[in-house]
Structure 1
Amino acid sequence: MTTLLLVRHGLTALTGPVLAGWTPALSLDDRGRAQARAVGERLAGLPLAAVVSSPLDRCLQTAEAVAAAHADPVGKIEVDERFGEVRYGDWTGRPLKELAEEPLWRVVQAHPSAARFPGEDGESLAAAQHRAVAAVRDWNARIAAEHGPHAAYLVCSHGDIIKAIVADALGLHLDQFQRIEAAPASLTVIRYTELRPFLVRLNDTGGNVDNLLPPPPDDRGGDSGAPRGGEGDAAVGGGA
């Protein structure tokens, strides 16, 4: 039951009006640094087996703030390029208001699985989702092997990448991923079991984190440590 905590990077000077993409040397602004510190403080008491980040500066700075605030040392921040931003190609650095006039904009909004961004390094949204989900699967296996099946780890990434991972966890077609929101410095939590993933929290920007991780095995099903029902069973009636 590996638990994945997804954190979007904090605000930068370009977040919102401009499609930042892989713009180099783009750091958090004062607001973003405050957001990153706040996320770190909220998560300080949660046991994290690893902190993983996109290679882009805004994510690394957010991940560093989380690691610095953590009660127990989490070791060095691991960098995985597969959690990097979608490669928007020629759209990188352009104002969103201007991009909204492009014919491709409607495809991105209504049929994102068919969208490929223009330019030599332009990436399709389907390819971006594939690499990000593959990275999650790899990290789930690695964390479980090294730290046990009930470990949790954190990944700092980008809005579209987080939305694509959530869509996969929910069994949604990529064409539905625009219905999901991942605000700057928000927390999204997915618990992966042998049967299915569970979306524990989505786009959280201030909630209590005490109940994010599953209870220890001894507390979930008596002496054997086995849960009541299958490991990935959903509670009947919507919650327990």
Structure 2
Amino acid sequence: MTTLLLVRHGLTAMTGPVLAGWTPGVRLDERGRAQAAAVAGRLAALPLAAVVSSPLDRCVETAESVAAPHSRDAGGTVDKVEIDERFGEVRYGDWTGRPLKELAEEPLWRVVQAHPSAARFPGEDGEAMADAQHRAVAAVRDWNERVAAAHGPDALYAVCSHGDIIKAIVADALGLHLDQFQRIQADPASVTAIRYTELRPFVVRVNDTGGDVAGLLPKPDEGDDGKTGSGASDAVVGGGA
């Protein structure tokens, strides 16, 4: 029952008008730092076993804020923010750093919006959307096993990543084809929660930017169907009950 909290980084000066991608040195602006502090405060009461981040500055800064209340010095179990490049932004290749308004005129833009599983971004380091999803989901599976082995099967951990990566992970958890991932939203500093069981993942919360997070704690007798008191059973076949 490992629970993953996906946190999108806070705002930067490039968030929105420009496709920042892997542009170096893109840090949180004043708004983003306030968002990071706010989401850290919301998650402070949860027993996070680990905090993992994309290597990009805007994510590392957000993750460090989230990790601070859970550090050893604060009585928690987090030694440091762990960096995993697989949670890094999609590699947009030649599109990196270009205004979104300009990119919307490119023929590939419609493919990215309507048929992203067929999209590969141009340029020597351009990445296919399907490859980006594959690496991110593989990273989630690896961290689920690592966190469960070190902290028990009911552990919670946080990953700070990017909008398209978070949406791709959620699509996988929902059993959606990648071509549907644009229907999912992940705002800056939002929290998305996915509970992974042996049976299947359960998407508990998506694009949450406020409110109580106590419900993200797994119940002691919660089973593989995500419901309290139901053990490892599944829904009654036929749905008559």
Indicate whether the TM-score tops 0.5: yes
Counterpart-to-counterpart distance in 1, 2:92 and 2:212: 35
Aligned: 1:133 with 2:134: no
Q: Give the equivalent residue in structure 1 for 2:215.
A: 211
The Cα RMSD (Å) is 1.9
Report the 3-state secondary structure (helix = DSSP H, G, I; strand = E; otherwise coil) of the residue aligned with 1:211. Answer: helix
Report the 3-state secondary structure (helix = DSSP H, G, I; strand = E; otherwise coil) of the residue aligned with 1:45. Answer: coil
Amino acid aligned to 1:179: R
Aligned: 1:30 with 2:34: no
Report the 3-state secondary structure (helix = DSSP H, G, I; strand = E; otherwise coil) of the residue aligned with 2:166. Answer: helix
Q: Deviations over 1:56-97 (max 9, x none)?
A: 000000000111234543211100000000000000000000
Residues 94-173 of structure 1: pairs in structure 2 closer than 5 A: 94-173=98-177
Q: Give the equivalent residue in structure 1 for 2:4.
A: 4
Q: Give the equivalent residue in structure 2 for 1:224.
A: none
Amino acid aligned to 1:64: E
How far the C-alpha of 1:216 sits from its partner, in A, is 2.5
Q: Is the 8 A contact 1:26 1:57 kept in 2?
A: yes
Amino acid aligned to 1:180: I
Amino acid aligned to 1:115: A
How far the C-alpha of 1:193 sits from its partner, in A, is 0.4
Counterpart-to-counterpart distance in 2, 1:231 and 1:18: 46
Q: Give the equivalent residue in structure 1 for 2:80.
A: 76
Counterpart-to-counterpart distance in 1, 2:75 and 2:48: 8
Residues 213-232 of structure 1: pairs in structure 2 closer than 5 A: 213-217=217-221, 220=222, 228-231=229-232
How far the C-alpha of 1:31 sits from its partner, in A, is 0.1
* Bigger Cα displacement from structure 2, 141-150 vs 208-217: 208-217
Could you say if the C-alpha distance between residues 65 and 116 of structure 1 is closer, same or farther in structure 2, counting changes exceeding 3 Å? same
Alignment match of 1:202 (pick from 194, 206, 214): 206
Q: Deviations over 1:202-240 (max 9, x none)?
A: 0000121011121234xx59xxxxx6334374699x9xx
Q: Is the 8 A contact 1:37 1:69 kept in 2?
A: no
Could you say if the C-alpha distance between residues 52 and 59 of structure 1 is closer, same or farther in structure 2, counting changes exceeding 3 Å? same
Report the 3-state secondary structure (helix = DSSP H, G, I; strand = E; otherwise coil) of the residue aligned with 2:28. Answer: coil
Q: Deviations over 1:158-207 (max 9, x none)?
A: 00000000000000000000000000000000000011100000000012
Q: How many residue pairs align between the two structures? A: 231
TM-score normalised over the length of structure 1: 0.92
Residues 167-206 of structure 1: pairs in structure 2 closer than 5 A: 167-206=171-210
Q: Give the equivalent residue in structure 1 for 2:62.
A: 62
Report the 3-state secondary structure (helix = DSSP H, G, I; strand = E; otherwise coil) of the residue aligned with 1:76. Answer: coil
Report the 3-state secondary structure (helix = DSSP H, G, I; strand = E; otherwise coil) of the residue aligned with 1:156. Answer: strand
Give ranges in structure 2 of 5+ residues lacking alignment: none
Counterpart-to-counterpart distance in 2, 1:17 and 1:235: 48
Give ranges in structure 1 of 5+ residues lacking alignment: 222-226
Could you say if the C-alpha distance between residues 234 and 18 of structure 1 is closer, same or farther in structure 2, counting changes exceeding 3 Å? farther
Could you say if the C-alpha distance between residues 207 and 233 of structure 1 is closer, same or farther in structure 2, counting changes exceeding 3 Å? farther
Counterpart-to-counterpart distance in 2, 1:12 and 1:232: 45
Q: Is the 8 A contact 1:193 1:231 kept in 2?
A: no
Counterpart-to-counterpart distance in 2, 1:210 and 1:120: 45
